[in-house]
Structure formats: C-alpha cells, structure tokens
Amino acid sequence: MAKSASVPLAAGSAPGHSKSPVVAKTVVLEDPPAVLVNPPLVLNNRSLGWITDTIAGICEKPMPAWWLPTFVASAGLMGMMYALIAYLIATGVGVWGLNNPVCWAWDITNFVFWIGIGHAGTLISAVLFLLRQKWRTSINRAAEAMTLFAVACAGIFPVIHVGRIWYAPIFLAPIPNSNMIWPQFRSPLLWDVFAVSTYGTVSLLFWYVGLIPDLATLRDRAKTRIRAIAYGIFALGWRGSNRHWSNYEKAYLILAGISTPLVLSVHSIVSFDFAVSVVPGWHTTIFPPYFVAGAIFSGFGMVLTLMIPMRTLFKLEDVITERHVGLMCKVILATGSMVGYAYGMEFFIAWYGGSPYELYAFKNRAFGPYWWAYWSMITCNVISPHLFWFKWCRKTMWFVWLVSIVVNIGMWFERFVIIVTSLHRDYLPASWGYFTPTWVDVFTFVGSFGQFMTLFLLFIRFLPAIAISEVKGVTPQADPHHPLGGAKEAHH
Amino acid sequence: MSSTPKPYGLLAEFETAADIFEAAIRVRDAGYRKWDVFTPFPIHGMDAAMGLKNSPVGWFTFIGGFTGFFSGMTMIWYMNGFEYPLVVGGKPLFTPLFAFPVSYELTILLGAFGTIFGMFALNQLPRLHHPLFNSERFRRASDDRFFLCIEARDPKFSEARAVLESAGAKAIELVED
C-alpha cells in the first residue's frame, strides 16, 4: 500500500483535539532535526533476510581459523582447573594460601567476581527491556549467555571452598544433617544459596525462552537432517504463530518484571554475606546498592570485552554498532561513578561513625600492607571509567576494549580488597596475618577463565549469538505503520 | 497435493509487515474464527488486528509466585521454628523477617516456572509436528516472510481463498493435514 508523509488524524485519537472547532484533516509529519535523531539500530538499512542470513550464518558456516586453537587453549585451561580441584579435594584446602585470620581469600573473591559479571546479562535482558531500551536486542543474547557461563564459574568456588566437598549437598539442600538439625535460615550464606541458584535457573529459562524463535529459524534453515532434528527438538515446535507470540510476549514481559527485582536481590544477598557479619570493613549498610552497582559495572566490562572482538571477527558492525558500544560505555561511566561514590562514602562513614575499629580497617585498607591492591582498585574502577566522558574514548573500539579489561581487573581487586584486607588484621594483633596466594590459587582462577571461554566459544559455534527475531523487531521494516514496513526498499 | 483428501487450511504468503497487518484486519472483519498469523517476530499491534484478548499468562505467574512465597515461609517455619527449634543468637525461632529473602527468591523461582510452563501450556507447545511444516514455503515464516492461515474447520472456509486474494496475498497454497 502507498505510504505518504501525511496520515489522516483518526477521530478521538488525540484528546482535546475533538473539542477544538477546527480539526485539521491531515497532520503533516515533518522530519525532526538531525541532532535529535538517533542512529538506527541496524545500519545500512539491512533487510530482514540479511539479518537472518548474517546471524544464523555464523553458526551454520564453519568457524574461522582462530576458533579451534582458541577453543583448545580454553578447554586446556578448563581441564587444568578441574585437575587442580581434584588435587584440592584429594589434599585439602591447605593447598591454597588460606591462613587463620584470612580464611576466605581468592575462593570467595572469585565467586563474587564471577557472580558480579553475571549481572550484566540479566540487567540488559530484563531492566533495559522494561525501560524500552531497544538497543539491548543486539547484545542481550550474548550477554545472557555470558551470565550463565559466569554463574557456572561462580558456582564452583563456594562449593570447593567448603573443605569436605562430599558434604556440600547437605550444606546446599534444605535437608537435615547427621544430627537431624535443619539448615539455619537466619544465615545470609543460606540466603545466598537460594539467591544464586534461583538466579542461575531463572537466567537459564529467560535465555532459553528468548532462544526458541531463533532455534526455529535454525531448524527451518537446516541443510542436514541431524541439524533439523537437533534444533527442531529444542525449538519445541515453534512456528511463529501470532497466537503464540501474544502469550510469549506477555511471558517475556513478566519474566523481565520478575527478573529485575531478582537481579537486584542477588548481589544484595551476596553483599549480606559480608554486611550481616560484625567484621569491621564488612559491616556496612551501603553494601547492597554498592555491590549491585559494582556488579553491573563489571558485567558491562565483560560484555564489552567479549562483544568488541566478536563484532569485528564476525563482521557484525551493522548490528552491534558504535552506538551500542557507546551506550554500554555510558552505563560503565554511570555505574563506575556509583562505585566511586560508594568508596568515598565508606571512608566518610568509617570516620563519621566513630568506631575506631571501622576507621582502622579503612586506613589499613588504603595504607596498610595491601595498599597496592587498594590503589590498583581505585585506579581501575574510579579513574578509568571517567575516560568515557570523552567521545573519542567511546568511539575507539580498541580503547574501549582495553578499558573494559581494566574494569574487570579493578572489580576483581575490589572483591579481594573487601575480603582480604578486612580479614587479615583481627581485633588482636596476635591474630594478624598476611595472605599470599599459592600456585594452586592462581591457576584455579586462571582455569575458570578457561571454562568461561570454552562455554562462550561453544555458544557462538552452535547458537545464534544475537537475538535474530528481536533485532528484526526493532528494524523499521518490522513496523507495519512505518513507510519502510514494506522492506522492499531495503538492501540485501 | 491430491494424495490425502483432508485439508488443514489455506496458507497465504505476504511480503511485508504492513501487508500482513492489513490482511489480518480484513480476515478478522470477515468473521473468521479458526485462523492465525505467522511472523518471524511479533508485530506491534497484531493482537488487536487479529482481535485477540489479553494473554492470561499472568495468572500462571501469580499462582507460581504465591506458591513459592508461602512454601518458603512454611518450609522455614517448619525447619527452624517447629520441627527442630534451635535458638541462635537469641533471635526468635521464627519471624517472617529472616524468612523473607529465601521466600522472596522462591517467589521469583516458582513465578518464573509458572510463567514459562503456563506460556507453553497456553500455546500447546512443545509439539513435534504440525501440518504447516508440510509446506516448503512456510520455512520462511521464521526468516522474512509473513503468513496467514485460515483453517479448514472454520465455518467460512469455503470463501477463504477469495478473502485472502482480495487481501493481497502473494501466494496461496492448500496445506494438507
């Protein structure tokens, strides 16, 4: 049907106009000034078919030459981690550098680090969905996958740090122990079990529900019977029916609605692991919002670390545009500022609260034996995000990538600083100590990156790394009322 | 095309979102009941164009979430306040306050299960096969084409071809069961 720049004003569509004696027959739509127009979410006016071919093509064609060596290296690191875990279980937690005041160190640091990274995926998929931030569609699939893989890495550490790991099912499940005593629900550590396992489960469901239409696309495009059956089983018979879309969209909206308080609650509860204790340096009410902001900060850092190489290596610049990267940089800037504020406020309250132990813990953090960790954290987390005030910094991909790595390093140090510096000097100088990691500590953590990358590489090998149906839905061609609703003018 | 006598429905193909949107309005206004639109992504406003009611998925969420919250509270009361009461730190044996975080997570967990399984139940998914998959053309419903199918069990099926043609279908095909 013909489209023109003028559309008839439907009666009653604009309240107030109907009372007016003079009603214009037509309203002329003028183009808004260029400065107000955002760049499109899919560049070069790509057609719907191009979107399918490009994104589904990644997991249909053979992987590029770099994929296999990277995969083998990552899988090797993952194997090393599991070998070290076997060594740990066979020998005992003494293979780590833990000592008496510092009885949580790299294990819980790594746990909080990974679970924090996982927060960006749900934030992008749920919070940005509720806020109608359409740019999320290009990045939500990979960010949600990253969430799942980060949670899979996070889950390892609390399980293996318990020492006698064969009792872990009793610690985790709500079943009575050998003395018939039930788990203690006043403990934030048990809340954490429920929070993290709910988070992992709901993230998996959310990710899978989002994948179903795209799995149907892969099933319909399959060239071999094995692919058709494999993708067909997981597509669950999806056929794009609008009667289904209607329920699907409602379910997706509700999932976004209930995942939003979930994502905020998970890192709040992780912070309760510390804040509910009475250890100076941990016992602060600022922890829940500060941990959530830090989690989003580190999560977006990791999203950028993964997305920038991905968009270049798979030539996805038209789908993950400079605008997408720039917006993620702004999220990093905002959450990084919140984290910086929290660091300052912690110091202020340590002084203003008047507790000498609290003040000592913070002075010791900045100027004690772990000063190097504290100032690494400040440099990475407080200074580096402010580079993103400058447009050049947000537009230059290699630079954004470097800053994203710095953010990840800084957020690991944040957790290390919170955990180890608060523990290493107890109330009595007789129980002061210093934590040094052993080679087992270091390589177990390095190996967790291997697991993360292995899972992510498998994901881009077998599943569409960008939400095909959602990206189509934000193109002008998808809007039946847009002049381009025709899609014919689009390039293929 | 002539081996099985039982038709499933008449499948019409459209090339653009605007075309399928207009066609859906026409088919709705012609009084059809057993018909559906198939699109690679949800089209904004299509529910109204098809005359669909608001999806009832939310009720499943509510049932799931309600179950989660109260099973969490009951579980914690039973374990810590009733079956093996144990005073810890001089705190009450049971209060909804310390039971809240876990009950809250269970609200979300079971609410999410309710939402997703409710959505699948309403959609009658998963299913391994559907008559529309017999159509080679229909494969593009997940790519860049838009389809409208009027089922043979609709009382006005005999006039369906004329309606679809007048709605501007690019191709019309009879799909067999």
Same domain, B81 and B113: yes
The answer to whether the Cβ–Cβ distance between A485 and B16 falls below 8 Å is yes
- Given a cut of 50, whether residue A353 has pLDDT beyond it is yes
Residue pLDDT, tens place only, A432-454:
999 999 999 999 999 999 999 99
B interface test, pick of A223, A239, A249, A471 with most B CB neighbours within 10 Å:
A239
- Given a cut of 60, whether residue A332 has pLDDT beyond it is yes
Question: What is the tally of structural domains in chain B?
Answer: 2
Q: Is residue B61 part of a domain?
A: yes
The answer to whether the Cβ–Cβ distance between B75 and A221 falls below 8 Å is no
Average pLDDT over residues A27-50: 82
**Average pLDDT of chain B, as a whole number:** 91
Instruction: Give the pLDDT of residue A127.
Output: 87
Same domain, B98 and B116: yes
Contact A468, A55 (CB under 8 A): yes
Q: Residues of B110-149 as b/e, b for ≥16 C-beta within 10 angstroms?
A: bbbbbbbebbbebbebeeeebbbbebeebbbbbbbbbbbb
Residue pLDDT, tens place only, B10-64:
999 998 888 999 999 999 999 999 999 999 999 988 999 999 999 999 999 999 9
Contact A370, A414 (CB under 8 A): no
Instruction: Give the pLDDT of residue A177.
Output: 78
Q: Is residue B46 part of a domain?
A: yes
Tokens of B65: 């979430």
Chain B hits for A183, Cβ within 8 Å? 79
Percentage of residues of chain A with pLDDT beyond 90: 66
The answer to whether the Cβ–Cβ distance between A216 and B122 falls below 8 Å is no
Contact A214, A240 (CB under 8 A): no
Question: What is the tally of structural domains in chain A?
Answer: 1
CA–CA gap between residue A118 and residue A302 (Å, rounded): 9
Average pLDDT over residues A237-259: 93
Residue pLDDT, tens place only, B111-137:
999 999 999 999 998 988 899 998 889
Instruction: Give the pLDDT of residue A162.
Output: 85
- Given a cut of 80, whether residue B1 has pLDDT beyond it is no
Cβ atoms within 10 A of the Cβ of A233, count? Answer: 13
Instruction: Give the pLDDT of residue A311.
Output: 92
Residue pLDDT, tens place only, B35-45:
999 999 999 88
Contact A445, A412 (CB under 8 A): no
Q: Is residue A151 part of a domain?
A: yes
Q: Is residue B127 part of a domain?
A: no
CA–CA gap between residue A166 and residue A106 (Å, rounded): 21
The answer to whether the Cβ–Cβ distance between B36 and A48 falls below 8 Å is no
CA–CA gap between residue B50 and residue B33 (Å, rounded): 10
Nearest residue on chain A to B98, alpha-carbon basis: A186
What CATH number did the domain enclosing B170 receive? 3.30.70
Percentage of residues of chain A with pLDDT beyond 70: 92
Amino acid sitting at position B16: T
Average pLDDT over residues A337-365: 93
- Given a cut of 70, whether residue B166 has pLDDT beyond it is yes
Q: Is residue B159 part of a domain?
A: yes
Nearest residue on chain A to B149, alpha-carbon basis: A241
Q: Among residues B128, B151, B172, B160, which one has the least CA distance to residue B6?
A: B151
Q: Is residue B131 part of a domain?
A: no
Same domain, B27 and B68: no
Same domain, B67 and B118: yes
Q: Is residue A19 part of a domain?
A: no
Q: Is residue A488 part of a domain?
A: no
Closest Cβ–Cβ partner in B46, B65, B89 for A242: B46
Work out whether strand B7-14 and strand B35-38 pair parallel, antiparallel, or are unpaired: unpaired
Same domain, B86 and B106: yes
Instruction: Give the pLDDT of residue A218.
Output: 94
Residue pLDDT, tens place only, A43-89:
878 888 899 999 999 999 999 999 999 999 999 999 999 999 999 99
Q: Is residue B14 part of a domain?
A: yes
Tell me, letter by letter, the H, E, C secondary structure of chain A: CCCCCEEECCCCCCCCCCCCCCCCCEEECCCCCHHHCCCCCCHHHECHHHHHHHHHHHHHCCCCCCHHHHHHHHHHHHHHHHHHHHHHHHHCHHHCCCCCCCCCCHHHHHHHHHHHHCHHHHHHHHHHHHCCCHHHHHCHHHHHHHHHHHHHHHHHHHHHCCCCHHHHHHHHCCCCCCCCCCCCCCCHHHHHHHHHHHHHHHHHHHHHHHHHHHHHHHHHHCCCHHHHHHHHHHHCCCCCEHHHHHHHHHHHHHHHHHHHHHHHHHHHHHHHHHHCCCCCCCCCCCHHHHHHHHHHHHHHHHHHHHHHHHHHHCCCCCCCCHHHHHHHHHHHHHHHHHHHHHHHHHHHHHHHCCCHHHHHHHHHHHHCCCHHHHHHHHHHHHHHHHHHHCHHHHHCHHHHHHHHHHHHHHHHHHHHHHHHHHHHECCCHHHECCCCCCHHHHHHHHHHHHHHHHHHHHHHHHCCCCCHHHHHHCCHHHCCCCHHHHCCCCEC
The answer to whether the Cβ–Cβ distance between A246 and B125 falls below 8 Å is no
Same domain, B36 and B81: no
Q: Is residue B89 part of a domain?
A: yes
Residue pLDDT, tens place only, B90-101:
889 999 999 999
Average pLDDT over residues A182-192: 89
Same domain, B113 and B77: yes
Q: Is residue A392 part of a domain?
A: yes
Instruction: Give the pLDDT of residue A241.
Output: 93
Tell me the pTM: 0.89
Same domain, B116 and B97: yes
Same domain, B113 and B74: yes
- Given a cut of 70, whether residue A291 has pLDDT beyond it is yes
Nearest residue on chain A to B82, alpha-carbon basis: A182
Chain A hits for B142, Cβ within 8 Å? 52, 213, 216-217, 219-221, 238-240, 469
Which residues form the domain of B65? 57-122
Average pLDDT over residues A198-220: 93
Q: Is residue B132 part of a domain?
A: no
CA–CA gap between residue A320 and residue A391 (Å, rounded): 17
Same domain, B66 and B34: no
Same domain, B96 and B150: no
CA–CA gap between residue A489 and residue A196 (Å, rounded): 48
Average pLDDT over residues A303-314: 93
Q: Where are the beta strands (DSSP E) in chain B?
A: 7-14, 35-38, 146-151, 171-176
Instruction: Give the pLDDT of residue B25.
Output: 92
Instruction: Give the pLDDT of residue A22.
Output: 57
Same domain, B102 and B117: yes
Residue pLDDT, tens place only, A371-398:
999 999 999 999 999 999 999 999 999 9
The answer to whether the Cβ–Cβ distance between A488 and B15 falls below 8 Å is yes
Tokens of A285: 């009410």
Residue pLDDT, tens place only, A88-123:
999 988 999 998 889 999 999 999 999 999 888 888
Q: Among residues A59, A17, A223, A72, which one has the least CA distance to residue A145?
A: A59
Which residues form the domain of A234? 59-466
Q: Is residue A12 part of a domain?
A: no
Average pLDDT over residues A274-280: 90
Q: Is residue A39 part of a domain?
A: no
Mean pLDDT check: name the lowest of A32-41, A347-356, A423-432: A32-41
Sorting pLDDT into bands at 50, 70 and 90, what band is A480?
confident
- In the DSSP assignment, the letter for residue B83 is I
Q: Among residues A13, A32, A6, A51, which one has the least CA distance to residue A476?
A: A51
More confident of the two residues A177 and A105: A105
